[in-house]
Every structure is written in C-alpha cells, then in structure tokens.
Structure 1
Amino acid sequence: MRIAMLTNNYKPFVGGVPISIERQAKALRELGHEVMIFAPDYGDTEEEEGVIRCRIRKRRMANGMVYPRLFNPETESAFRREKFDCIHVHQPVYMGNMALYLGRKYHIPIIYTYHTRYEDYLHYLPVFREEEKAGAIRRLLIRAARERVIPWYMRWFTNRCDTVLAPTKGMKRDILLNGTSSLVEVFPTGLDEGFFEEHKEAAIAVRKQYGKDKKYLFCTVSRLEEEKNLFFLLKGMKKLKEEGMESFRLLLIGEGSLKGGLEKTAAKWGLEDCVTFTGNIPNEELPAYLQASDLFLFSSKSETQGIVIQEALASGCPVIAIRANGVEDTIEDGCNGYLAKEDVQEWCMKIWKALEGPGRGKMREEAKKSVSGYRNLALAAREEQIYTNCIEAKWKEETAGEREHAAVSFSRLFKIT
C-alpha cells in the first residue's frame, strides 16, 4: 500500500515524534510498503528519498520547532500526482488540518497518532509564557485554554479521523474520556533491534570515559526544556549528595533552551563533579550509554509514552521515574524499575533501593523482558493491519453511500414517472 505520513516536525529536529516516524517508515518499507513523509523544510535540509519537504513560516518556537504553512502546495501537488491509500498524521494542527482536507478531498482514511499532551506545551506560545507573572485575567485565559479549549479541539479533531492511535492504555482511557468516538487503538512506538543487542565493548568505553572512579553511573535522555522537569532531577542529585552518596555521575544527554540554566544550577549546588552535560548523542550510539549505566532517571510528567524509557529497558537499564500517565503503563514498581511521587525524598529513596536492594540483578533482566513486544518489525506488521482495516472500512462506507444515493435517485425517478 501507499502511505502518506504528515508531520510538523522531523529530522534534523531531535525529538520523540521524528524518531517514531522514522522507525515506522523504515519498518513499513521493509514489509514492502511505499511510505512518503511530508515534513517541514528547515532551510538547510538535505534531500532524502521518501521525504517531501514543505514550506514553513519564518517564525520558530524557542525549542527549534517550526510552523508549517496551514496549506502547502508541495503536499497538495504530490496528492494530485500520486494515489495514496491512507494518511497517517502525527499532529492535530497545521499538517493535521491539511490531512483532514486531503482525506475529504481524495476519500481516503486518516489515522492519527496522539503523541503529545498539548496542554503541557502551552509555554512554547508567546501569549502563554511566564504564566506565574501573568495578571488575573491572563491566568484565567491560560487556564481556560488548558482545561477547555485544548480538550474541545482534540475531541473535534480526533472525531474527524478514522482511527486514533494511543501510545499506551492510559492514554487510550484519557482520549475516550475526553469524548472521542472514533476507533482508538493502543499502538506504541517500536524499538530498533540495536537496543536489544549487546554493545559490551562500547559500553565499557562509555563507563571508562564518564564513570572513572565513580561507583554508580546514571543517565537520562531528554530535550532540555521546561516540560521535562529537569530541575527536579538536579534537586534529586543534590539530595543524594547530601545523604552521603558522593560516588555517582549523571549523564544528561540532550540539548535545549534550558541548558545554560541547568548548568548554572548544577554549579550553584556543587554538582559539577556529579552531573555531565553530554549534548546530543547519535541514536545508534545510545544503547552503549544505556547499557553502561546503572539506572535511567526520568523526571518528565508530560509523556504519552516516553520512548526513551522503553529504549532504556530494552538495553537492560532499570528506570526510576515520576509516577505519571504514559509512564505507569511501562514501569512495574519493583520489577523493571521504580515509580515515585514528585517528592525528592521519595525519589531518592527509590534510587537507593534500586542500587542497594536485593533484586538489583534481576531487575536488569526484567527490564529487557518487559519491552520484548516493542520490536519495530513486529509492531509494523500490526500497523499494516490497522491501515488495512481503515482502508476497508472507508471503502465500505463509500460504497454504502453510493448505493444509498443510487436508491434515492431511483425512488425519485419512480415517483416522477
């Protein structure tokens, strides 16, 4: 089948959605399908087979994301030339609006993946920044946007899609509770085989480079942005040090607009010898960093799935995470990691427990087992079936509509005669 994937962000932007799209497209192509990705043109983007770049607006978000044009000629032109069997869209605005338009125009089904909790990302829009400094009326408007406008819009958008894919069971529950009546399927992002494979020599090299004389090596992978709650992570490192755990190092892997502030805070709290900012690491090298680490620390509360959590588990690295939707579906407390409230004391207690508790060795084994069903090709086969079901349902709907129209026309003709 021929699949059109529409997205507001893609490589070279680093994030969970671009990774998810790239993996899905790769696996579907391996199964023999044609996948065309429609993604923003960042200006200096190299041409890539199977990717059509679309024009964007000049203004960009603080984290480097761009604003695609609401209706772009590149996508429209490709749909006139090609015959796509279905559209898989990854955001509900911009490319999302384009997907609804194209789906109606060419009578093809629309599948939407609910990647993001948009109510947690309002701070990227200028009008919603510095909420704590806003006046009473502005705070009221921000609250209304978060609690009413966004849920209303997401309900409106999802009900115009043929199928909605939720990364976790918890997200499916929330989507349905918000009033979505379209079919909702649980479908997580798949993992490349590289995360399940052993990278012993590379992991030893990482441990030697960063662990040095430290007893424990932790890591986290994240965009360094407000919604990832990374200052809480630093508070946890400060608390561990105060409690006597001097011999550890945290690798903070990623880039973002908060990097400078995080570095200053780490220095202010005396964590220079305990926290290392590595910058971005190529995805193919990431398994070695995860396998070299004793624990993966995760502080975000805004995830729908948390791809990096699954990557850590597949690499045999137990996870300590804040208890939140999107995380609770993956971490089994005391089995493949630990969940904690957003409380520094409890968070640190769970870290101590994971490191010094009796089930430490078994936890690494359980981590790998818990995500064995997330392999990319296996999920692509299921995605193929979801697409097929959508296409068949659309065909039946169109055929039924044509039959009904023909019956009405015949009835009118009979009455006239």
Structure 2
Amino acid sequence: MKIAYTAGSLQKEHNGVVRVVYEIIKALKKRGESAIFFSQLVPPKKEQPFPMIRVPSIRFPVRPEYPMSVLPKSTLYPHLDAFAPDIIHITAPDALGYAAVLYAKERGMPAVATYHTSFTDYLKYYHLGATEPFFWARYRKLYNNCERVFAPSKVMVKELKSHGIRNTFFWPHGVDTALFNPSFKSRAWRTANGLGQKTVLLFVGRLVWEKNLDILVEAYRRLKGKKGAAFVVAGEGPAKEQLKKRMPDAKFFGQLDRNELSTVYASSDIFVFPSTTETFGLVVLEAMASRLPAVGAGAGGVKEIIEDGVTGFLAKPNDAEDFIAKIGRLLERPKLTAQMGASALAYARTQSWNHVMETLFEEYKKIFSKKK
C-alpha cells in the first residue's frame, strides 16, 4: 500500500503529535509499506526514513514555532501525482491538510484524518472564543470528506460527533515501554542537578499558557520545599521565559531528545499535568511507563488515562486548590506514591504501540478495499 501523509511538523521531538507520526513511520518501515510525507518543517535529508517534502510556509510572531503553509497545492499536487498514493492521511486541519483532502476528492481516492489537537479549546486563551462556530464549520467541511477521523480518546470522539463530524473512530495512542521505563532512573542525574533526596515533581509539555500553566505556577508557589518537593520542567514554548521568572527555583531543561527525556521521567517522582485541553495526553502515559503516579486535570483525554486513586489522582479541571491538594497527598504519603507508581507502570505496559498500529493499518485496508 502507498500512503501519503501531511503533518504540521516532522522535526523529531517537536511535540507529542510528531512523536505519534514517528510511531507510524516505525510501523510503515516494519511492514514494508511505501510512503511520502509533506510538512512545513522537515529534518535534513539524511535523517529522513521516507521522502519528506518541505512545503513553503510563513511564520507569525505570535507562534513562530508553528509556520503556516503557503499555496500548498503547487508543491503537493505534482508530488502526489508522481507518487500515486492509495490513501492520504492528514494529521492537522491546516491549509496543507485541506489541500491534501481536496486532492483526494478530485482524484477519487480515500482520505483519512487524525484529530490530535483541540485547537478550538485554545481560542479563549487568545480572546477568540467568538470564532469557535466558524472553526467547527471549517472542520465539518474538511473532516466530512474523510473516510475516517481517528480520535485518540472517547471524549474527543463524542465531541467531534456533537459538532456534526461523521466517520469518527476511536484510536487511542500507545507508549514505547522499551524507551520509557524505570530502568533509566539515574542517581547521577539527580545529583548533578541538585535534586539528591528531594521529591521531584515533573511537568513535560509545550510551554504555552493554554496548558493551564498558571495552576502549575500556583502549585510551585505553595508546594516548593514542602516535604523536599522540587519542580522540574521539560519543554519549550513562548511562555518559557515568563514561567522561569515565576518559578525561579525550578529546574528548566528545555526541549529534550527521547533518550534524555526517558532519564528525566524515570529519575523523577510525581508527574503533574494541569492541562484541560489534551485530546489524549501522551506525556502522561510516558510518565506512567516510567513508574510515576500522575496528578492531572479530570478533563479531555487525560481522564481516560489516569485511574483516579489507583494510578494517580484526577483533580477538578481548572481548580488550583484541588490540584495542589492531590499533589500534597502524595507528598505526605511516600508509600502511596510508590504504590500508585507501580500501578501506573502496570497499566502503561498494557498500552502497546503494536496493537495501536495493527488497528490503524487494518482500517487502511478496509478503506482501500472499499474504494477499489
């Protein structure tokens, strides 16, 4: 089977969506499938496992790390004609994704989509909440021209359906337990970073305020030093400098590669994640695979990963008091932290990428057979 993909970025470690795309790439190589990728951001040619075509783009001052494609058809169409895909898979509802679905419609071939990011939830943070109906209308036009819209959590399937999007399909994500596991715990890393015997509270993710970072800051303000608590933040984003000013004693590690990140996860003690806008919450599952109990907001995909009171705690969404109280319970009870960490690890080990990818490729086959 020949499959064409579009993505907002193909630069490794850029975000959780890219990590999922690279899991798809691993599955493609394992199966011996043919593929081509299109994106605004691509790695150097020598690092490309499949042909990756850079689409011209422009950057905006507000979010320069996410360039927007410009006139994608002029790049996309000739390459797609030459490649002649059997199916097209888009991973973002951007101009490139729209052009790819239009191409599929014009050529009479199937297109599918994955719904990775709840962009409409971000609108309120940019004072654009009134535009939400417009965006959902655009999404309906795009996604209802797809044979499948893969959503990584049941709550996202429900939300898409509530906005009139058809052909939704529950497709959860997995975790690489060979990469993210407790064996990478490093006493040397803790010592080198002045963390020694402290209880390390870890946040991993894009540093943008829509991740509810204000609650993370409040947790830092109230809990730093309590029972030896120390905060570690891994990730990049426009909020980083302001966050460093508001959390001056926290350790900031920026964007880490996967091997570095596995050490940070395994060498921490509790994962804290206040975001309410996650379609899944891949970092939560990676932390759990590293034997960390997780405290997260009971919203979005995160509430389907954390089993409240078993693998961690779910706090009331947007409630700093409850979030801090749940972290406090773990700080006060090290045995409970260890017990929940063990349960988190046991759960994560059942969430294999192999099964996830089997499901995806089975759906590809069904769709392709139907269109033949």
- TM-score, length-normalised on structure 1? 0.82
Cα distance between partner residues in 2 of 1:208 and 1:329: 35
* Partner deviation per Cα, 1:97-154 (whole Å, 9 max, x = no partner): 112122113322111001111113347xxxx94x3xxxxxxxxxx33312x1122222
Cα distance between partner residues in 1 of 2:12 and 2:365: 31
* Partner deviation per Cα, 1:334-361 (whole Å, 9 max, x = no partner): 1111011222222122112223345332
**Partner AA of 1:262 in structure 2:** L
Cα distance between partner residues in 1 of 2:213 and 2:180: 27
Q: Percent identity?
A: 27
Which one of 131, 138, 145 corresponds to residue 145 of structure 1? 131
- Is the CA contact (8 Å cut-off) linking 1:337 and 1:367 kept in structure 2? yes
Cα distance between partner residues in 1 of 2:253 and 2:180: 23
Structure 1: give runs of 5+ residues left out of the alignment.
132-141, 396-417
Cα distance between partner residues in 2 of 1:41 and 1:352: 41
- TM-score, length-normalised on structure 2? 0.92
2:332 is the alignment partner of 1:356: yes
Structure 2 vs 1, CA of residues 205 and 188 (structure 1 numbering), >3 Å: closer, same or farther? Answer: farther
**Partner AA of 1:380 in structure 2:** M
Structure 2 vs 1, CA of residues 347 and 197 (structure 1 numbering), >3 Å: closer, same or farther? Answer: closer
Match of 1:162 in 2: 147
Cα distance between partner residues in 2 of 1:199 and 1:208: 17
- Is the CA contact (8 Å cut-off) linking 1:230 and 1:299 kept in structure 2? yes
Structure 2 vs 1, CA of residues 211 and 280 (structure 1 numbering), >3 Å: closer, same or farther? Answer: same
> What SS is found at the alignment partner of 1:194?
coil
Q: C-alpha root-mean-square deviation of aligned residues, in Å?
A: 2.2
Cα distance between partner residues in 2 of 1:219 and 1:82: 44
Cα distance between partner residues in 1 of 2:12 and 2:286: 20
**Partner AA of 2:268 in structure 1:** S
Match of 1:247 in 2: 228
Cα distance between partner residues in 2 of 1:23 and 1:255: 22
Which one of 239, 242, 245 corresponds to residue 258 of structure 1? 239
**Partner AA of 1:389 in structure 2:** K
- Is the CA contact (8 Å cut-off) linking 2:206 and 2:236 kept in structure 1? yes
- Is the CA contact (8 Å cut-off) linking 2:4 and 2:35 kept in structure 1? yes
Cα distance between partner residues in 2 of 1:197 and 1:321: 20
Give the C-alpha shift of residue 277 in structure 1: 0.9
Cα distance between partner residues in 1 of 2:195 and 2:336: 25
Give the C-alpha shift of residue 13 in structure 1: 6.9
* Partner deviation per Cα, 1:261-295 (whole Å, 9 max, x = no partner): 1111123xxxx2xx111111111221221111110
Match of 1:121 in 2: 122
Cα distance between partner residues in 2 of 1:13 and 1:120: 23
Cα distance between partner residues in 2 of 1:105 and 1:229: 41
- Structure 1 residues 73-92: aligned runs within 5 Å: 73-92=74-93
Which one of 155, 162, 169 corresponds to residue 185 of structure 1? 169
Structure 2 vs 1, CA of residues 102 and 364 (structure 1 numbering), >3 Å: closer, same or farther? Answer: same
**Partner AA of 2:90 in structure 1:** V
> What SS is found at the alignment partner of 2:253?
strand
2:311 is the alignment partner of 1:333: no
- Is the CA contact (8 Å cut-off) linking 1:217 and 1:250 kept in structure 2? yes
Runs (4+) of structure 1 moved beyond 4 Å?
A: 44-47
Give the C-alpha shift of residue 212 in structure 1: 3.4
Cα distance between partner residues in 1 of 2:191 and 2:201: 14
Cα distance between partner residues in 2 of 1:168 and 1:231: 25
Give the C-alpha shift of residue 59 in structure 1: 2.9
- Is the CA contact (8 Å cut-off) linking 1:27 and 1:376 kept in structure 2? no
Cα distance between partner residues in 2 of 1:367 and 1:289: 17
> What SS is found at the alignment partner of 2:94?
coil
* Partner deviation per Cα, 1:221-256 (whole Å, 9 max, x = no partner): 111112112121011111124xx7151211100111
- Is the CA contact (8 Å cut-off) linking 2:181 and 2:266 kept in structure 1? no
2:259 is the alignment partner of 1:284: yes
Cα distance between partner residues in 1 of 2:313 and 2:239: 27
Cα distance between partner residues in 2 of 1:9 and 1:94: 13
Match of 1:296 in 2: 271
2:100 is the alignment partner of 1:99: yes
**Partner AA of 2:233 in structure 1:** L
Count of residue pairs brought into register by the alignment: 368
> What SS is found at the alignment partner of 2:214?
helix
- Structure 1 residues 13-412: aligned runs within 5 Å: 14-41=14-41, 45-47=44-46, 48-60=48-60, 61-122=62-123, 129=126, 131=127, 142-146=128-132, 148-181=133-166, 183-200=167-184, 202-210=185-193, 212-241=195-224, 245=226, 247-267=228-248, 272=249, 275-341=250-316, 342-357=318-333, 359-395=336-372
- Is the CA contact (8 Å cut-off) linking 1:11 and 1:18 kept in structure 2? yes
- Is the CA contact (8 Å cut-off) linking 1:216 and 1:247 kept in structure 2? yes
